[in-house]
Structure 1
Amino acid sequence: MSRRVRLLLIVFSLCLSLTITGCGLQGLLGNKSKNSSKKTSGSQTIIAVSLNEDDPNKLLISKGIDDLAKKENVKVKYIDKNASTTEESPLKDAKILIYQGGNESILQKSQSDKIPVLALTQLPAGVKPEGIITPDQEKVGELMAQTLVSKVTEGQIIVLQGDPTEGGFQERLAGNRAVLTKYPKITVQSIPSPSGSESVAKAALADFIQKNPGKVQGILAHTEKLAAQANEVLKQAQLDKKVVLIGGQASVSSLDRMVSGTQAGDIDTSPYLQGVNAYQWAQKIIKKEPLEVTESITSDQGEIPAKVIPVKAVTPENIAVVQKSYTKTLKNAEQDKKQKEAQTEKASQSKNQSKDQGGDKKSQDQGQSGNKQGSASDSQGKSKDSSAVPAGVEKVTERIKTETTREYLDAQGKVVGTEKTANEQVKTVPPEMLKQQTEQPKAAGSSEDQGKKADKEKQQ
């Protein structure tokens, strides 16, 4: 064989080997990829959410989160304000925490468990979140003031501020001032309301109106809670149709007040969209994808990437559309909540019922076992009592007492007289005879069993 032929054979064999090996590797890689894909799709992502209990639009925010979560294999775990972190962690298996407010210990737990935090509406204290979803707070303040000055251009204006420690407080106030400073005939009186002191702000407002009769022309309430309290004060003073009230956080309740004429305006902060965007950013953070940052917010922890949600003023022209949207979304959210609660309760009842049935069966089995043991013990006791003869017995006596009743009847069978006689007899029984009497039934039983066995063998 020539050298060229041998070389061609070697090259051909090598190519054939590579082709076969390559196909095998490709198949293995393909199978591995498929298995990995199945494993990934089978696992469920958990997103923990802690919302502010005082937010009137809490259900609308959660509706935005839940609607997107339903479309994907994602479980949303809402953490109650009173959730304990000492037992099983509420953040167990969670990939991220969306935090608006609630239990502050959850924040600390997220840091110790190295779970990323996405802030919602406001920046949490002492924690640097991966980002924040927030309405345009400064624009909220501007729109509030613009709505007010479209109705009032002079006189006393009261600004019911939110909690100074909350994020967005300074921005809303700056938005108010940016507009009101353009009207020199307007005098501004600010009433702060730190967290938990809304009742103090309400009392301060009532006192100011009483001491300055006829001077207050308008009120800017930064939150729905403050707007509701201002409305109560104005009603008590019979000024609810005279003093212009503008809110900064539209809700179903505030929109109802606008329709009734006791509130002149409000700001739609798009709570449903806040929830939608919070979910989308949470998924991007989990998957380590780039965020769609519109701007950044400076905090004590540094610059925080932010997604700012546009806001709009609620006016008599668009009140019908906005109110319908809020009412419908809230109704759907309440229905979803009821369904979840019903499913949770049903699952809990089913679990408890299974436990009860298991316990009853165990008790029943134990009872039956006890009865069997008791019956066996009774039988053994009776047998033992009937056959036992005390040691050292030399003589056994039996006392037999008989009673005879004799009746005397006439021709018709009627009893005309009776006679009773009693007879008592004492017999002496040797102990050996007593033992023989007790052993005879056993022997008879054994003979009977042997007889039955013999008959059975004959039949076969």
Structure 2
Amino acid sequence: MSRRFKFLLIMISLCLSLTITGCGLQDLLGKNKSKTATKKAENQTIIAVSLNEDDPNKLLISKGIEDFAKKENAKVIYMEKKSGADPLKGAKILIYQGGDSSILQKSQKEEIPILALTQLPSGVKPEGIITPDQEKAGALMAQTLVSKVSEGLVVILQGDPNESGSQERLAGNKAVLSKYPKIAVHTIASTPGSESLTRTGLVEFLQKNPETVQGILAHTEKLALQASEVLKQLDKKISLVGGQVSLASIERMSSGTQMGDIDTSPYLQGVNAYQWAQKIIKKQPLEVNDSITSEQGEIPAKIIAVKAVTPENISIIQNSYTKTIKSAEQDKKAKEQEDKKEKSSGQASEGKDKEEAGKEGEAKNEGKSEEKGSSAIPAEAKKVTERIKTETNREYLDAQGKVIGTEKTVNEQVKTVPSEMIKQQAEQSQVKAKDGGDEAKDKEGDKKE
């Protein structure tokens, strides 16, 4: 045997070995990859989040939560009112800012800890709260206003008067305004669902005091927008300061219809909410820098610093908010596409399983049909007679394809078949049916493995 021939044999053997090993390795890697993905999904910490739909910066809050959740393989589920599935299924904690309040009772019933965000929910005792410095925000609002207004009437459009954050913000407003003896304060409270009454109350007060009202402090973006619309409607030049900056309020400031606002750092609220949520889940100590008294007792708090938005820093704030919101929108779109892809993949996998199950069922049914079709031959039968009837129909057509005549013939043939042959055929059919059933079972077993 020549050296060249030996070399070729060695190379062929080596290639075959690599091919076989490679196939097995790829299969192994594929299975391991699938197992890793499954294990990763099983180990995910699920955090339920319910945000206030009226918050103009909820996208920034969710951005702060999502950015850190990605780093730690945590899954964030947002509460939806119309969702038919169990919203808290698998959740380790609920971050609650607003939304459907029934989710709070459900969370308590299922012993899922609650972390409050921005404001304290009523009727439950959360493990803690992440909130902007409400009193400081109120003080900064008033300081912005008194830089231009030092006398006359100031209208405060307060948020929910029963909410502790709103009370603190009002206290901050009055602490500053009280230092100006020539300023009188009129407060219009806005309870949830009574925004139209608040607007009407503002219109009536401005009409009764057409010359004396010099400034308006609006605690929320919703109230600031209403005030701006009323001033435009009545053609009033009154200084307006908001308490919750957003891209919309930044536009009003740029156009000169609003003189100031407050940056409550919504992104940082989201970041800190996520960090505290993880600490609560892991039963780790919280980085508490304050506490808030509620009807349920003292609640540990993390206070987020706030800052005034003025004409001097508006461009910086605008750039920061615009950039972060754009990034948040891109992340949201990517997440929706990923969820859609996962759902589609799951449906495809389910369809494939059903198809395989259907094929197995067909194989079993086929075996049963064959078994059923072969009837038993009586033991005393000595011969079997078969009658085969053939029917033939003929049509005679002309050149145009028109039928000009028909003919029908029937042929009947009778033959005798030995009973041993029929029995042999029946036995073969039974064996075939059994083999088909065993094959289906083997496939099912392989699938389970």
TM > 0.5 fold call = yes
Structure 1 residue 260, shift from structure 2 partner: 1.4
Root mean square deviation of aligned Cα:
3.5
Cα gap change, 1:308 to 1:355, in 2 (>3 Å): same
Distance 1:72 1:352 in 2: 28
User: Which of 157, 167, 179 matches 2:154?
Assistant: 157
Matched letter for residue 306 of structure 1 = A
Structure 1 residue 330, shift from structure 2 partner: 0.8
Cα gap change, 1:286 to 1:365, in 2 (>3 Å): closer
TM-score norm. by structure 1 comes to: 0.69
TM-score norm. by structure 2 comes to: 0.71
Matched letter for residue 63 of structure 1 = K
Matched letter for residue 245 of structure 2 = A
Q: How many residues align?
A: 355
Cα gap change, 1:73 to 1:351, in 2 (>3 Å): closer
Structure 1 residue 137, shift from structure 2 partner: 0.5
Asked if the contact 1:266–1:315 (Cα under 8 Å) also holds between the matched residues in 2, the reply is: yes
| Gap regions ≥5 residues in structure 2 | 1-38, 376-385, 390-410, 422-449
Asked if the contact 1:281–1:291 (Cα under 8 Å) also holds between the matched residues in 2, the reply is: yes
Matched letter for residue 79 of structure 2 = I
Distance 1:265 1:76 in 2: 34
Structure 1 residue 372, shift from structure 2 partner: 12
Deviations 1:78-121 (A, max 9, x none): 2224445xx53x22222221111112122112211212111111
Q: Does 1:286 align with 2:281?
A: yes
Cα gap change, 1:210 to 1:127, in 2 (>3 Å): same
Q: Does 1:341 align with 2:336?
A: yes
Deviations 1:247-296 (A, max 9, x none): 00111111111111111000011111111111111122222222111111
Structure 1 residue 72, shift from structure 2 partner: 1.3
What's 1:169 paired with? 166
What's 1:141 paired with? 138
- Equivalence map 1:2-13=2 (5 Å): none
Distance 1:359 1:74 in 2: 32
Q: Secondary structure at the match of 1:308?
A: strand
| Gap regions ≥5 residues in structure 1 | 1-38, 381-385, 390-433, 447-460
Q: Does 1:45 align with 2:45?
A: yes
Q: Does 1:111 align with 2:87?
A: no
Q: Secondary structure at the match of 2:415?
A: helix
Matched letter for residue 333 of structure 2 = K
Distance 1:41 1:335 in 2: 23
Cα gap change, 1:46 to 1:357, in 2 (>3 Å): closer
What's 2:127 paired with? 130
Distance 1:265 1:166 in 2: 24
Matched letter for residue 130 of structure 1 = E
What's 2:78 paired with? 78
Deviations 1:33-87 (A, max 9, x none): xxxxxx9997222222111111111011111111111111222222224445xx5
- Equivalence map 1:235-254=2 (5 Å): 235-239=232-236, 242-254=237-249
User: Which of 291, 296, 299 matches 1:301?
Assistant: 296
Distance 1:293 1:372 in 2: 71
Asked if the contact 2:388–2:414 (Cα under 8 Å) also holds between the matched residues in 1, the reply is: no
Asked if the contact 1:268–1:312 (Cα under 8 Å) also holds between the matched residues in 2, the reply is: yes
Cα gap change, 1:115 to 1:374, in 2 (>3 Å): closer
Matched letter for residue 323 of structure 1 = Q
Distance 1:375 1:304 in 2: 75
Distance 1:69 1:246 in 2: 35
Q: Does 1:438 align with 2:433?
A: no
Asked if the contact 1:202–1:233 (Cα under 8 Å) also holds between the matched residues in 2, the reply is: yes
Matched letter for residue 202 of structure 2 = L
What's 1:69 paired with? 69
Asked if the contact 1:96–1:116 (Cα under 8 Å) also holds between the matched residues in 2, the reply is: yes
Structure 1 residue 171, shift from structure 2 partner: 0.4
Q: Secondary structure at the match of 1:213?
A: coil
Structure 1 residue 205, shift from structure 2 partner: 1.4
Q: What percent identity do the matched residue pairs reach? A: 64
User: Which of 230, 233, 237 matches 2:230?
Assistant: 233
Runs ≥4 residues deviating over 4 A: 39-42, 353-378
